[in-house]
Amino acid sequence: MKVLYVASEALPFAASGGLADVAGSLPQALKRRKVDCRVVMPLYTNKIRDEMRAKMKFITSIMVPVSWRRQYCGIFEAKAGGVTYYLLDNEYYFKRDALYGHYDDGERFAFFSRAVLEILPHIDFKPDIINCNDWQSALVPVYYSTLYGSKEGYTGIKTVFTIHNIQYQGKYGNEILGDLFGLGEECASLLQFGDCLNLMKGGIECANKVTTVSNTYAGEILDPWFSHGLDPILKERSYKLSGILNGIDTKNYDPEKDADIFYNYSAKEPADKAKNKAALQELFGLPVNADTPVMGIVTRLVAHKGLDLIKRVMWEILSSTDMQLVVLGSGDWEYEAFFKELAAAFPEKVGLRIGFIPDMARKIYAGSDLFLMPSKSEPCGLSQMVALRYGSIPIVRETGGLKDTITDSGDGKGNGFTFKSYDAYDMLDAIRRALAAYADKEYWNKLVVRALKCDNSWGKSAKEYIKLYEELV
Ligand code: GLC
């Protein structure tokens, strides 16, 4: 089976969020199971390190239609983890400081989506399945079903559209349907939703299957509370919707081998986790104390991560409890300001770094006892799985992938602490239960070992993707 995995970001080349982790590891897991999976993504000239650039092989260049325009597209090939990546070059579109957030994102990703189909005859790879991800490649199934499906060399391909976060839909004015997307009025109904064009809606309408990144989220997005408006469309199309939980790259995230943490350890020999904790406390200028629980937060500082709950009660917790908080993240000004104030008010208890610093994130996973992730919505969430892998016990809200990966340890079997409603005092209750459990050393050590033993590798999920692909071909 041949699969072309289309992503607007993928590790190790360029990343801004969880999609890059998935596009950097699921293809390898598919490959291990004999699927010829290759990835195609934009070549972000400013983001890709020189030594990686040097290893890329130029295949050819073509001209890609963007409506009536013809735009240059260089096709480069690179290998990572045994997987072939095609990187599509056009500096006008992709030589930018940020991956997204530009005034012409609609045009940039229309170009990319069109290019994905245009390159097929030039890379000598005819996929059975094209798996697209999020709004940036949602036009691929639209173009396939309207312009390419019956063309010579293109027949018989099936498309899958995966939603990583329904909040970001790619909405643009109706007036660019013809002039930029190159589609006639007869296609308008595929993309139109509300008073604009909605790329995610188009992907849902045209793909043969729609997946999302956890089972619980697949159910949640049928509900207006989660769907950001798309629930009527998803309900109509629910026959082709399913959830497949993400995994994590357990080779990359491995406390036994990780070179970015202070001391290596494992489920068999967990003792050195304590040394990581002391080193973390020191790194953040906090009193080094083995008995004080350290809670980690590593996140984009945006509302859906549940930061309003933290804002509501963290002051209270820190004033009344012997604990330390280590925070790494960047994002909305409101939350950055909140954490800065908190760190200033509790210099002995709060360590803060504003930024997206992967090696520091790992030090926090390894050095913390608890990991707080109270998301309002969380399609899958990778951090809670990484936290488990490093034996930091997650405290999460029961939503999306958090619900599917973390179970409350109240019964002596689970791997974390959970709460249901989006309510600061329910979160507080879960935190208090976690802190009480922490005080019971015997109980806690067993819990940490259970966490370290959790298997969230890609194996099971890759099998589910293969099953879905097989159903289609
Ligand atoms: C998005 C989601 C996150 C998910 C990731 C990978 O970033 O917000 O929950 O884990 O995609 O699928």
- Using most ligand atoms within 8 A of CB, pick from 9, 19, 168, 304 the residue to mutate for ligand 1: 19
- Using most ligand atoms within 8 A of CB, pick from 166, 226, 380 the residue to mutate for ligand 1: 380
The pairing of beta strand 57-66 with beta strand 69-80? antiparallel
Helix 273-283, helix 358-367: angle, nearest 10: 120
CA–centroid distance, 8 to ligand 1, in Å, is 13
Supply φ then ψ for residue 451, to 5 degrees. -65, -45
Helix 424-439, helix 441-453: angle, nearest 10: 110
Instruction: State the fold for domain 273-452.
Output: Rossmann fold (3.40.50)
Q: For 136-272, where are the alpha helices, taking DSSP H only?
A: 139-143, 176-179, 188-191, 199-206, 215-220, 224-227, 231-236
Closest atom of ligand 1 to CA, residue 400: 9
- Please give the full DSSP string across 378-418, using - where no structure is assigned: -SS-SHHHHHHHTTPEEEEES-HHHHHH--BGGGSS-SBEE
Closest atom of ligand 1 to CA, residue 164: 11
Tell me the percentage of the chain whose pLDDT exceeds 90: 97
Count of CB atoms within 10 A of residue 70's CB?
11
User: What is the edge-to-edge ordering of all strands in the sheet holding 83-89?
Assistant: 57-66, 69-80, 83-89, 36-42, 2-6, 129-133, 158-163, 209-212, 241-243
Closest atom of ligand 1 to CA, residue 19: 6
3-state secondary structure of 93: helix
- Measure the CA–CA gap between 395 and 370, rounded to whole angstroms: 7
Residue with the smallest CA separation from ligand 1 atom 6 is: 18
What is the chain's pLDDT, residue by residue, as a tens digit (473 residues)? 999 999 999 999 999 889 999 999 999 999 999 999 999 999 999 998 888 889 999 999 999 999 999 999 999 999 999 999 999 999 999 999 999 999 999 999 999 999 999 999 999 999 999 999 999 999 999 999 999 999 999 999 999 999 999 999 999 999 999 999 999 999 999 999 999 999 999 999 999 999 999 999 999 999 999 999 999 999 999 999 999 999 999 999 999 999 999 999 999 999 999 999 999 999 999 999 999 999 999 999 999 999 999 999 999 999 999 999 999 999 999 999 999 999 999 999 999 999 989 999 999 999 999 999 999 999 999 999 999 999 999 999 999 999 999 999 988 899 999 999 999 999 999 999 999 999 999 999 999 999 999 999 999 999 999 999 999 99
The tens digit of pLDDT for each residue in 135-190 reads: 999 999 999 999 999 999 999 999 999 999 999 999 999 999 999 999 999 999 99
Supply φ then ψ for residue 141, to 5 degrees. -60, -30
- Please give the full DSSP string across 69-92, using - where no structure is assigned: EEEEEEEEEEEETTEEEEEEE-HH
The tens digit of pLDDT for each residue in 302-345 reads: 999 999 999 999 999 999 999 999 999 999 999 999 999 999 99
CA–centroid distance, 276 to ligand 1, in Å, is 28
- Using most ligand atoms within 8 A of CB, pick from 213, 402, 458 the residue to mutate for ligand 1: 213
- Using most ligand atoms within 8 A of CB, pick from 25, 26, 246 the residue to mutate for ligand 1: 246
Supply φ then ψ for residue 438, to 5 degrees. -60, -35
Closest CA to 165 of 387, 423, 401, 354: 401
Taking the whole predicted model, whether its pTM rises above 0.85 is answered as yes
Closest CA to 227 of 172, 169, 171, 167: 167
Cβ of 18 below 6 Å from ligand 1: yes
First to last CA, the chain: 9
CATH of 2-247+459-472, one of 3.40.50.1110, 3.40.50.10070, 3.90.950.20, 3.40.50.2000: 3.40.50.2000
The pairing of beta strand 370-373 with beta strand 393-397? parallel
Residue with the smallest CA separation from ligand 1 atom 10 is: 381
Contact at 8 Å (CB) between 187 and 246?
no
Tell me if 2-247+459-472 shares its fold with 273-452: yes
- Measure the CA–CA gap between 32 and 85, rounded to whole angstroms: 16
The pairing of beta strand 393-397 with beta strand 69-80? unpaired
Closest atom of ligand 1 to CA, residue 217: 9
Domain segments of the chain: what residues?
A: 2-247+459-472, 273-452
Cβ of 389 below 6 Å from ligand 1: no
Cβ of 342 below 6 Å from ligand 1: no
